[in-house]
């Protein structure tokens, strides 16, 4: 049996939620391996819409084990709030169907406060974060001062760890002109919430190894997209973790040999939320039409997404850095009715033609897209579940995308509905 990793191949918001949900019906275990509650996955199941931020998409499917891996930064209050929210929709989350890695780092109120302080600088410079404390929490993890989930199990040890953490944060807060955080108050808040979190704590790496040995199918669910990767994305306008497929192993505690098939979720056009370079961005009526037809608003932030033509250069780069085996092309139906479509096949940088997105932020901002034009189609692709249902021009578009990105299309999603998928290759069969 193949274990599958699902990653975004653009700047996130590619439609991973639906595809992960579709795949989770075939999986036994679903694992979140990076990010925090800044991610947003929208699932539509039997007409009911679920909006998840931190919980693995498998929670809405009965009989699945969901896992929050060590690579995730966890806000315990946001976690419990999300559990309560989907409970009202009839989904029960218990320690029997969800486990949290004992070594996952916590997001505390000081992290979201610091995020907000930094994003509201008087000089106007910002990264465009969700202000949910993700970045500051990862900073503390790397600096070895983070509070981890396992620390909640020992009251005295927790207090000592908080003292060490606030030694850094209070100095920072003083320097930024903000009041210090009281260690006793923060300790009290964590002790109040700890009994609700502790039952979920588990040595995740061990449980995943047992699942692997018992031939269970494991689905690794990424957040954001490859171009938001801290190392391989459009730095500094990126998230604070590795979003490429290799993080699935490091962020959950399995060996890389466990990752059998990498599925890259790829939107049929391009979108981005927040700040940063966007070579194919359309600030005209075409871009507005894509946004309106695609309902392009962030699941978590509600911010309107920037829209543009498909960027084959960027997606090819993501395919290489993640080792993507096949892509799932989503939102093809949004392109219905457009007379002409364009695909970016290269960039022009300072008079030279290149086929990669430079690492330097200044150069990223200067690249100009070189387009290839394709005819659009008059018919509808919405709801199609076979190639025969697609207009000929839509098939040509998909095939040209394959050629330009150097990777086969394994699936095509034609609506938000879970079963509206054209399947060429089942990822779980390798």
Average pLDDT, the chain: 92
Phi, psi of 191 (to 5 degrees): -65, -30
Q: How far apart are CA 320 and CA 357, in angstroms?
A: 13
pLDDT of residue 300: 59
Residue 20 has pLDDT above 80, yes or no: yes
Q: Report CA torsion sign: 228, 45, 67, 113.
A: positive
Which residue, among 13, 82, 79, 4, has the nearest Cα to 41 in the 3D structure? 13
Q: Is 41 a catalytic residue?
A: yes
Q: Which residue has the higher pLDDT, 46 or 116?
A: 116
Q: What is the mean pLDDT of residues 12-23?
A: 87
52 against 205, higher pLDDT: 205
232 is catalytic: no
pLDDT above 70 covers a percentage of the chain that reads 96
Q: Which of 37, 41, 169, 232 is catalytic?
A: 41
Q: What is the pLDDT of residue 299?
A: 57
pLDDT at 298 over 70: no
- As to burial, measured by CB atoms within 10 angstroms (0-12 exposed, 13-18 middle, 19+ buried), residue 13 is buried
CA distance 67 to 62: 14
Closest CA to 247 of 222, 264, 217: 222
Kindly state the average pLDDT of the residues 86-90: 92
- CA dist 61 and 27 (Å) reads 10
Mean per-residue pLDDT for 212-229?
Answer: 95
What pTM value is reported for the model?
A: 0.92
| pLDDT tens readout for residues 91-141 | 999 999 999 999 999 999 999 999 888 876 656 565 556 678 999 999 999
């Amino acid at each position: 049996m193949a274990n599958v990793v699902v990653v975004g191949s653009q700047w996130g918001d590619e439609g991973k939620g639906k595809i992960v949900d579709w795949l989770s019906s075939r999986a036994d275990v679903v694992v979140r391996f990076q990010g925090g509650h800044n991610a947003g996955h929208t699932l539509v199941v039997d007409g009911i819409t679920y909006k998840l931020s931190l919980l693995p998409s498998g929670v809405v499917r009965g009989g699945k084990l969901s896992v929050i891996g060590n690579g995730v930064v966890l806000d315990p209050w946001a976690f419990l709030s999300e559990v309560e929210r989907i409970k009202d929709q009839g989904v029960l989350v218990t320690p029997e169907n969800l486990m949290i890695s004992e070594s996952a780092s916590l997001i505390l109120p000081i992290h979201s406060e610091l995020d907000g302080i930094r994003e509201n600088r008087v000089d106007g410079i910002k990264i465009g974060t969700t202000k949910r404390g993700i970045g500051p929490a990862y900073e503390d993890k790397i600096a070895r001062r983070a509070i981890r989930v396992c620390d909640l199990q020992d009251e005295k040890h927790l207090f000592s760890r908080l003292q060490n953490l606030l030694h850094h944060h209070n100095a920072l807060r003083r320097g930024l002109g903000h009041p210090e955080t009281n260690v006793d108050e923060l300790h009290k808040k964590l002790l109040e919430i700890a009994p609700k979190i502790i039952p979920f704590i588990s040595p995740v790496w061990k449980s995943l190894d047992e699942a692997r040995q018992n031939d269970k199918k494991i689905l690794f669910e990424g957040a954001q997209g490859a171009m938001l990767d801290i190392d391989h994305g459009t730095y500094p306008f990126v998230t604070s973790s590795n979003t490429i497929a290799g993080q699935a192993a490091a962020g959950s505690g399995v060996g890389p040999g466990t990752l059998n098939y990498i599925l890259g979720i790829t939107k049929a056009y391009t979108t981005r939320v927040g700040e940063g370079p966007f070579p194919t961005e359309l600030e005209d009526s075409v871009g507005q039409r894509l946004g309106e037809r695609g309902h392009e608003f962030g699941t978590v932030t509600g911010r309107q997404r920037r829209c543009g033509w498909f960027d084959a250069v960027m997606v090819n780069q993501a395919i290489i850095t993640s080792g993507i085996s096949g892509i799932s092309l989503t939102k093809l139906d949004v392109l219905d009715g457009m007379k002409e479509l364009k695909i970016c096949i290269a960039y022009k940088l300072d008079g030279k033609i290149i086929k990669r997105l430079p690492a330097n932020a200044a150069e990223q901002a200067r690249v100009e897209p070189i387009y290839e034009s394709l005819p659009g189609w008059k018919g509808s692709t919405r709801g199609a579940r076979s190639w025969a249902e697609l207009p000929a021009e839509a098939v040509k578009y998909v095939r040209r995308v394959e050629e330009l990105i150097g990777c086969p299309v394994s699936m095509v999603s034609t609506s938000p509905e879970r079963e509206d998928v054209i399947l060429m290759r089942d990822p779980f069969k390798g």
